[in-house]
Amino acid sequence: MQLYNNLSAKERAALIEQAGKDRLTISFYKYAKIKNPELFRNHMFLAWDKMDVLGRIYIATEGINAQLSVPAENFNDFKEHLDTISFLENVRLNVAIEHDNFAFLKLKVKVRDKIVADGLNDETFDVTNKGIHVGAEQFNELIEDPDVVLVDMRNHYESEIGHFKNAVTPDVDTFRESLDIIEEDLREHKEDKKLVMYCTGGIRCEKASAYYKHKGFKNVFQLEGGIINYARQVEEQGLENKFIGKNFVFDQRRSERISDDIIAQCHQCGEPADLHTNCANEACHLLFIQCDSCKEKMENCCSTNCMEINRLPYEEQKALRKGQGNSNDIFKKGRADHLPFKKDLRNIFEVLDKKS
């Protein structure tokens, strides 16, 4: 019984190209009680591997969080399989606006303590007491209310390339950081403001909305299905699109364009740009925004030092990395000190001041 990948990413990419068939990029999540995550993980891997499903899936006792791609011709079989699992029957599937056959190159189904690293003790509050879910049309109406504080529950490098108009974009590296910051900054407005949240696909808001209700917020709303579902509803229903820029995604695509606006800038030269890249120096691998001109000039590197290292023969690079971990810059994601055009993000007080 094979419960692991037997092809490298390179080999898989070659097979996908050779097949020449369209693949759909999909995400979904579901909070549910899973008694034996390891057994459930094995079941999912075996079933999906037969359908040529690829992706990154996290399973925990609290549920499942999946980002994957499936051959278009196998989509119905995939959906039918989900419907055989009681808590996944008719689960909402967020289908991407822009598909990429190479979005995922391996099937990784992993058992984790949590399906989202939120750092919360779920025993201290009712995680099922969630906020009000709203679709794109109601969301558009809601965020025009002067008593609404619209909060982006994503990290700084996600919101930098795209966000909803007038949204608060916390300057955080992790989801857990934003929870305390938002509560502190809005502590005086738990009753007189409507807290409206959004994220990529909805999963972070599921936990956050319950957490904020536990913390005393009286009016809590969340965008159903996140930005991914919003963009699809806007397109299908002919609604006004209030999202500007690109939606950051966690696969090889790195982003989906939702509007033509470019709201970010190259971290190296300051010119308009919104394409993330990883530094070509494997000892760095920093995620940052780089325009095409700087990409060519800097050879896909974030600094001259990394460029010089990346020019060395592979064995020399490998010797330099021996015994060394990745640079701490990898965790800064576009905020490394040597990047001259890092973005300064707004805080909640600034947004509230503008509304008052």
CA gap 191, 170 in Å, rounded: 21
For residue 122, the 8-state DSSP code is G
Cβ proximity of 211 and 229 under 8 Å: no
Phi, psi of 321 (to 5 degrees): -80, -15
- Phi, then psi, of 126 in degrees rounded to 5: -85, 105
Q: Which helix (H) or strand (E) holds 267?
A: none
**In angstroms, how far is CA 31 from the centroid of its own chain?**
17
The answer to whether the CB of 122 falls within 8 A of the CB of 26 is: no
Place of tokens 């919360």: 120
Is-contact 221 169, C-beta < 8 A?
no
Annotated active-site residue 199? The verdict is yes
Options 199, 205, 266, 306, the catalytic residue: 199
Tokens 């590197």 sit on residue? 301
Q: In what order do the strands lie in the sheet with 255-257?
A: 162-164, 243-248, 255-257
* H helix intervals, the chain: 9-19, 37-50, 75-83, 136-142, 156-159, 175-185, 203-214, 226-237, 292-297, 304-311, 314-321, 348-355
Q: Compute the distance between CA of residue 203 and CA of residue 225 in angstroms, rounded to an integer.
A: 8
Pairing state between β 54-60 and 107-111: parallel
Query: Does residue 178 contact residue 172 with C-beta atoms inside 8 Å?
Result: yes
Which residues sit opposite 66 in a β-bridge?
28, 57
Q: What is the DSSP letter of 202?
A: S
> What does the block give as tokens for 101?
């056959």
Residue of 144, 118, 287, 300 whose CA lies nearest to 210: 118
Active site residues per annotation? 199
